[in-house]
Every structure is written in C-alpha cells, then in structure tokens.
Structure 1
Amino acid sequence: MAVSLSISCENLLDMDAFSKSDPLCVLFMNTSGNHWFEIGRTEKIENCLNPKFAKPLVLDYYFEMVQKLRFEVHDIDSENCSLQESDFLGQLECTLGQIVSSRRLTKPLVKKDKTPAGRGTITICAEEMTDNRVVAFEVAARKLDKKDFFGKSDPFLEFFKQTETGWQLAHRTEVVKNNLNPMWRPFRIPMQSLCAGDVEKPIKIDCYDHNMSGDHDFIGTFQTSLSQIQQAEFECINSKKKQKKKGYKNSGVIIIKQCKVLWEYTFLDYIMGGCQINFTIAIDFTGSNGDPKFPQSLHYINPQGYNEYLAAIWAVGNVIQDYDSDKMFPAFGFGAQIPPTWQVSHEFPINFNPSNPFCAGVEGVVSAYQQCLPQVKLYGPTNFSPIINHVARFGKQALEQQTASRPPCGTSCSLCLSDSSKM
C-alpha cells in the first residue's frame, strides 16, 4: 500500500546570523546494507524554527520488509544550495513500520554523532493512501486587510484537515505580492489529505500576510466542508480584531471560484485497464562516444560481452517489455556514417531494414546492436530530433486510434527517447 507522511518540526537550531533557519526535510531509505537513497523532500520554509511542511512524502509500505528511513532536516540558504553546502539541523532514523504502527511519531532530532540537536523534535504523521481523488481549486480574495505599512499585503492561504490530534496542514498556496484582491494559481489537494474522503468533514482555511522574517501576520480564517465549499464566498474572520473593533464585519472575503473533485489515475490503474507501453530505442553513434576499439569508449564491448549501451538496453528493456504485448521494439541509431554510401544518418534502423525496424524482444535489440556496431563509422553531430519526430508521428497515430475510454500511456528514460506505437 502507499503511505503519505506529513512532517513538522519544533525548536530547530537557528543557524542564520541575521534571520532564522530556512528548513527543508529530506527523506532517505535503506533496504539493505549501508546504501541510503533519497525518496523525496519537502518544500523549504523561510525563517522558521517550527515548520509545518505542506508537501507530504509518499512511499510504498511492505509489511514483510524492514524499511529503514532517515529524515534529515537542513537549513537551505539559497535555491542552488546543495545538501553538502547546507547547515545540518538534525536527523531521525526509524523504520516505516514504527511510523505506520503509531500513526503519529514524535522524536528528538539528533546530530550525526547521535548527540541531541538542541531541543529540536520532528513529528511524522502516517496515512494510508487509498483514495485517488483530488480536489482542484481556483481561489481568489476580495478586500483583504492591509497589513504592510509601506504597501498592501502579501497574502497566502493554508488549508487544514481536522484530525484526532488537531488541525493538520494539507496545502499552502503561493504568496501573491502586494495585493488585497489576489488570485492564486490553480492547485490540487489530494482528497484524503484534505478531508480523509469525507465531504462533510470540517476544513479550516487560514489567510496570512507573508513577512520575510517568518513571522507572518494573521489576516483571518473560516471553516467549511467540501460539501459546502464549492463555488461559494466566505468571510475571513479575525476573532481578536472582531472583539476589539465595533462594527467589525470581516477581514476580507475568500472566493472559491472553482472546486472540482477529480480522479487522479495511477500508473497501475492504466496498466490494469489494459494500457500498453510501446518502447522505441535510439542509440547514439556519434564520435563523442570514443573509438569502440578502445576500453575508454562507451561502445567498447569488453571480454564479457558487455558495454554501457548494452547494460542500459538490458536494464530498461527488461522492465518495459512486461508491459508490451508483442515485445517487438523498433530500434534506431543516429550520428553515424552508414553503408553503402557512408553518408551521415540521424535516423537509421540498427537492423538496416527500413521497412521493418522491429527487433524481437530485448535479445533482438542486443543482437541487432552487436551486428550493427562494426558496420558503421561513428561520426556526428549529435542530432536526435529526427528520431524524436519519427516517434512522435507514430505516437500521434496511436493517439488517434485510441478511444476516449482507453487513453494511451507512456514513459520516458535516457534510453527511450519517446514512447511510440508500432508502425
């Protein structure tokens, strides 16, 4: 099953001299040995020592496996700042089983030497992803309170789901600068994250004026439900201001211009619905690969019968072929001088049969490549646009042949330049 992890932290270390830390959480997994690989990362929150990250991290849970996780919190000072260049704020190592069994896990953050990272803590909330529906929003506001002395307000919204332990952040919009009548970009929230699939469950929406210091000014809030929110207007209420000011009406109006519940189909939904992936291979035969006679070349076939291109063909092809019913793969080359005219070609079948460039399975592609390599001269330049156009034409034909209930599905990788239908 798929599990969604929502993350928040408190009392993080302050690593910035003239402001607060700009935290981001990165999730790593270790399934064997000492090899950790990154699963995903949250958004960065500026100037905040108690962040609530809006972006959940989703991964697959396997009961029969021990899935070791490491949550690392970093202070990211610039957009191009790498994790190695960032300030490390602390980490937590645990298993996915621990999180799933507790549903809500709060632990202290530690440094890499296992000593406490100040008073920092991290909280992870787990939720099974069983609902593929998303809610598509278009939201605007009118006459929000002016909070900035030299300008208007820089408003943003936060959407919260009600849980047993309180309100849980589900989504944060972008900031609209200097505008009391903002229109936010359209966005989507998973229905499970917003209301656990219950259209009557309360939803809370807060509106803030963004400040670079991280201390955002509260404008107002309101509560509703998915059943009530569609194409409606809601008064944004600031309770403190309401108590102090006679004749107070609201701090602005939030306008739900559009709210639609949509199905967001997964890759598995398409496959189980009968979708086929048609795989086209394009191989780079330009001179930049190096002379195939020497070991430094990517095209050099070693005594064991392998090279970098063969390894890529086997790795990608073995995965894709399970989703292709006839397992006939068109394979092309580009950037080489080919016989008999020795003109440079950027679109030639590696089996030298233009009327039938298909190879039977991954084994057929490997065999055609091994026979093609000694017959061509690596040249250039690197121009794969003819291959892309070639595949696009047949992809378009396949799209036209599909019915509305059976949309095509594709994938892309470094080896497969594009998905195509069979010729």
Structure 2
Amino acid sequence: MGNCFSDMEGGKQAVGGAQQRPTIASDNNNNNGGHNDAVDFFYKSHGLHPLFTQMELSLSASKLLDRDITSKSDPMVVVYAKKIDGKLEELGRTEVVLNSLNPAWIEKVTVAFQFEIVQPLVFHVYDVDTKYHNVPVKTLKLKDQEFLGEATCVLSEDPFLRISRIVESGGSVPICKTEVVNNNLNPIWKPLCLSVQQFGSKDNPLIIECFDFNSSGNHVLIGKLQKSVADLEKLHKDRSGANLTFPSSHQGHEKVLKGQLFVDQFCEKQQYSFLDYISSGFELNFMVAVDFTASNGNPRSPDSLHYIDPSGRMNSYQRAMMEVGEVIQFYDSDRRFPAWGFGGRTGDGTISHCFNMNGSAGAFEVEGVEGIMSAYANALHNVALAGPTLFGQVINTAAEIAGQSISYNRNKYFVLLIITDGVLTDLQETKDALVRASDLPLSILIVGVGGADFSQMEVLDADNGRRLESSTGRVATRDIVQFVPMREVHSGQITVVQALLEELPGQFLTYMRSRDIKPHPLHVAPTSA
C-alpha cells in the first residue's frame, strides 16, 4: 500500500483552492483527527479560533496479499492518528471492497489538518471475513479479521517564503522567494540576496508570506507579516522573532499561528552589476559546438537540419550561431572563437565527439562569427554525419580552457553554445561534466533544433531549482546551463539572444561573487581647465 493522498476536492479545501477560510472547530465534531485541546484552549482564551482545515483522504492500494483460498481478499482500511505517546487513535474506516487485490475505496476519511503540528497517520489493511460482509464496518471487531499490512504517512508542511514589495497603488509585487523545505515545521532557508533595486529603501514595507507548497500550484497561505529591511535587521540584532499572522474572518481579529520568523543572518554590502564588470574590462569569450550526428539528415537534402539553402536563408544551426555570436563578440576583445563539432566521422575515418570545425589538427579558433559560419559550411563537405550524441567531451574541453584561464586572467568568463538535434546518449557523463564545470567561469547555452524530445535538456537546465548531481553524489555549485528549443524561436515566442541573456548575467554574477572577484576601478582621465 502506498502513501496517502487526498482527492481533488479535499486537496483544494486543504490548500485554500475551493475553500479559502479555515474550518472553525465545533463541539459536535465527532471526527477529531489530530484535535488538540491545549491548542484549542489557547486560542479561545485569547478570543481567537483554532486554525485547522478539514481534509478528505481518498485511499487505494495495489498488490495486496491474497489470503482467501477460492477468491481474492476483501480489503478494508482503518485510519489512525499516531499520538505523541505512540498510541493509535482511530479516525475512520473505508468500506469493504470485495474480491480485489488492487482496491480503490470510495468512502473518504476526514482528517482535521492542523498547520502547527506534525500529524503522523497509520493505515491498517484487513481482509474482512465473508460472514461479516453484511455487518456495518464501524461495528466490526478487528481481531476477527485478517491483517494484511500497514502503511504510514505524515501530514506536515513543505514551507517556502515569498517576499513582495508594496507599490504606490497599495498592491504588492513579488520580488523573490525561498526554496521549498520539505516536510519541516522548523525550516531553515538558504540566504536570500536582495538588491536596493528590488526593495527600494530600507524603510519600505515588505510583505513576507509563508506558504505550504502544493504541486498543483494551489499553495496554501500559512501566515504573513509586514516588515521593512530595517525591521528585519533589527530582528537579527535583537535575536527576536516576528509573528506570522493569518487573516481572520471575524472583524478586527487576527489569527496568530504557533510560529515565528527569525532572521539568522543579516549583512549589508555593495553588490556590483553585470555592467559594472563589463565596463571595467571583463570579457565574455564565445565558444560553439555543433551536432554532426546522422539524425540531422543528409545535408544535401532540403529536409535536412544541416541543409544550406542557396537562396541564403539560414538553417537553425546557422541562425543560432549568428544570433548568439553577434551579441557575444562585442564582449570579446580579440573575437577569436573556438569552434568544434561532435558526432561526426572525420577525414581519417574515426568518429570524433570533439573535432575542430575548421579542419585544422591544432588550431581550434576561428576569426569572428564569419569564421564560425565558414568553418561550419566547410565541415559539412568534409565530415560525414555519424553518432551517437555525446556532450561530455565537448564540455570537458571547454571546461579545460576556462580552468586554465583562472591562473593567468580572472577577467574572462566563457560561454559555450551547443546546438543539437537529438537525445543524449551520455546523460550521466554530461551531468558529471557539468557538475565539475560549475566551479569554473563557464556558462553553457544549449539550443535544440528539430522536433526531438528534449526533456533531458530540461533536466540539465535545472530551472526547477534542483541542482544537478554527479554519479558520485556531488551537487553542482551553481546552475550553468540554459536550454532553449528552436521551435519556440520559430514560433515567435522568444529569440535565442533573449534566452541567453535571461540567465547569463545572473550566472556570471554568481560566479564572480562566490570568488569575491570585484570589478576593476575605473580610472578617469584628468580634465584640463
């Protein structure tokens, strides 16, 4: 039997989707799953109402034990709340499903979900004897039934914070949020970095809201408070907490949760912008790697992704190289770019996963974007498309160049553009290479061309907030990948340049700040009177 879950209706009520206000406890509530008299007394003595909401659990099971000889088991579930002393308190029972090892029970079990406590639930599954099938389940003696198994879960919270700035109209604009801390009522979030541009001034009021994460997007508000940055600094200095409150349905009352927000760390320092670095002499060095696998199609065929149109109309590879290269080249003083291919059969008959597109055995750099376009066109005549699609060697080569630059020039940051049409064969090797490269001054833009399934690339992008992990368990220092499918570019939703600039400045700044690398002072030439 798997973990418990609520149905859509119960889930909406639990997270405030269908019923925004919490349920008010009443004396005639017979099903008091997780009810706490002490908490109830605390709220009532303060003129408040206990904060909880009713949640309906829908239960199912699979691959149950078959205890019957002539037929399958007739299962029923009994749901318990596990108290602090370890004792089980029965909350409800499902109906009996006849002759099934994969039952989906219809009867719901109602639980009072309390925001301020962890509520362990225990589920016992019984095979009900045939002679009891006409007996109401509530009157069944469990010792007379055959025990099939047990499952447990915890009703708890996956909290995260959202910080918003109050604007002149009186509304609020979100400016940042924390990560989600799973199944934790005492979360400690990673430090947040707020800029003056985000919060305006230290005295501007901010709204800090704590939500319980829900995968449906219907996050439930646990509580909120209003504080300025100056207030948060004072909380840190005083080692005091601020109460999170929940709006009450009763006029003039606030519902106080059993929790406070503490500021464990507070520091104020000058943060440099992307332009501060670029204007002081820092450079972006462009590198490109092109997919020469056979899945692109014969370059001589108009259906091929590598087809070069005599009319001058660029294919997806040319377009990506041109658009990105034209932007990056202005941040590169020598405009000499490494240009590689991968997955092609070179002149000596071997399949290479990192060869120089210009055909040279030693020199991998070309002159400007025009040099990239020329090397690409020549490679299509001299390299046979092969396979498979492997990124590892190209990423490692780019990482080696970026790593070597650290010892002699900390002003350089490298941007590798990988253009591909296919599904990776070396996904784990690519993850390993990216995790190693996350310590280096390197960002990687992956452009997907054609109609392949690029779900693997979304994993590499790590936009879901979960950093890549290597085969040895090491987690990436930072996110260095941005993926964009070219079909979205063709549909007019975005441009390749927009996709690059969306995350590149942030990745650049994260690296520079983590290494405490500051822009060079600007020397202003003296002016004569």
What is the alpha-carbon distance in structure 2 between the residues aligned to residue 281 and residue 209 of structure 1?
A: 43
> What's 1:313 paired with?
321
- Output the amino acid matched with 2:296: N
Gaps of 5+ in 1: 1-15, 23-44, 51-143, 242-248
Matches within 5 A, 1:205-284: 205=208, 221=225, 223=227, 225-231=231-237, 232-236=239-243, 251-261=258-268, 265-284=272-291
What is the alpha-carbon distance in structure 2 between the residues aligned to residue 369 and residue 240 of structure 1?
A: 62
Identity of aligned residues (%): 33
> What's 2:371 paired with?
364
Superposed displacement of residue 283, structure 1: 1.9
Report SS of the residue matched to 1:282. strand
Kindly provide the CA deviation profile for residues 250-270 of structure 1, in whole angstroms up to 9, marking residues without a partner as x: 944432111234555544333
Kindly provide the CA deviation profile for residues 259-287 of structure 1, in whole angstroms up to 9, marking residues without a partner as x: 23455554433322322111112222222
What is the alpha-carbon distance in structure 1 between the residues aligned to residue 354 and residue 178 of structure 2?
A: 46
Please state which structure has a larger fraction of its residues in strand.
Answer: 1
Q: Decide whether aligned partners of structure 1 residues 377 and 174 sit closer, same or farther in structure 2, where only a CA change above 3 A counts.
A: closer
User: TM-score scaled to structure 2, two decimals?
Assistant: 0.43
**Structure 1 residue aligned with 2:413, among 396, 400, 409?**
409
Superposed displacement of residue 169, structure 1: 6.0
Superposed displacement of residue 396, structure 1: 0.6
**Structure 1 residue aligned with 2:172, among 155, 168, 186?**
168
Kindly provide the CA deviation profile for residues 173-202 of structure 1, in whole angstroms up to 9, marking residues without a partner as x: 5665665533334444444444x2x22344
Aligned residues: 279
Q: Is the 8 A contact 2:289 2:416 kept in 1?
A: no
**Structure 2 residue aligned with 1:334, among 333, 342, 347?**
342
Q: State whether structure 2 residue 203 is matched by structure 1 residue 200.
A: yes
Matches within 5 A, 1:8-157: 18=9, 47=17, 146=117, 154=157, 157=161
Q: Is the 8 A contact 2:290 2:418 kept in 1?
A: no
- Output the amino acid matched with 1:199: K
Superposed displacement of residue 395, structure 1: 0.6
Gaps of 5+ in 2: 1-6, 21-114, 122-153, 249-255, 421-433, 435-441, 445-529
Superposed displacement of residue 216, structure 1: 5.7
Superposed displacement of residue 319, structure 1: 2.0
User: TM-score scaled to structure 1, two decimals?
Assistant: 0.52
Q: Is the 8 A contact 1:336 1:344 kept in 2?
A: yes
Please state which structure has a larger fraction of its residues in helix.
Answer: 2
Superposed displacement of residue 370, structure 1: 2.4
What is the alpha-carbon distance in structure 1 between the residues aligned to residue 269 and residue 362 of structure 2?
A: 43
Q: Is the 8 A contact 1:286 1:378 kept in 2?
A: yes
Q: Is the 8 A contact 1:235 1:251 kept in 2?
A: no
RCO comparison, higher one (Cα < 8 Å, 6+) = 1
Q: Is the 8 A contact 2:223 2:257 kept in 1?
A: no
Report SS of the residue matched to 1:281. strand
**Structure 2 residue aligned with 1:324, among 294, 313, 332?**
332
What is the alpha-carbon distance in structure 1 between the residues aligned to residue 19 and residue 280 of structure 2?
A: 46
Structure with max Cα Rg: 2
What is the alpha-carbon distance in structure 2 between the residues aligned to residue 366 and residue 175 of structure 1?
A: 45
Report SS of the residue matched to 1:229. helix
What is the alpha-carbon distance in structure 2 between the residues aligned to residue 342 and residue 214 of structure 1?
A: 57
> What's 1:56 paired with?
none
User: Bigger shift: 203-212 or 180-189?
Assistant: 203-212
Kindly provide the CA deviation profile for residues 227-263 of structure 1, in whole angstroms up to 9, marking residues without a partner as x: 413353225276999xxxxxxx994443211123455
Q: Decide whether aligned partners of structure 1 residues 374 and 257 sit closer, same or farther in structure 2, where only a CA change above 3 A counts.
A: same
What is the alpha-carbon distance in structure 2 between the residues aligned to residue 415 and residue 236 of structure 1?
A: 51
> What's 2:295 paired with?
288
User: Bigger shift: 325-334 or 225-234?
Assistant: 225-234
What is the alpha-carbon distance in structure 1 between the residues aligned to residue 331 and residue 345 of structure 2?
A: 34
Alpha carbon RMSD of aligned pairs, Å?
A: 4.6
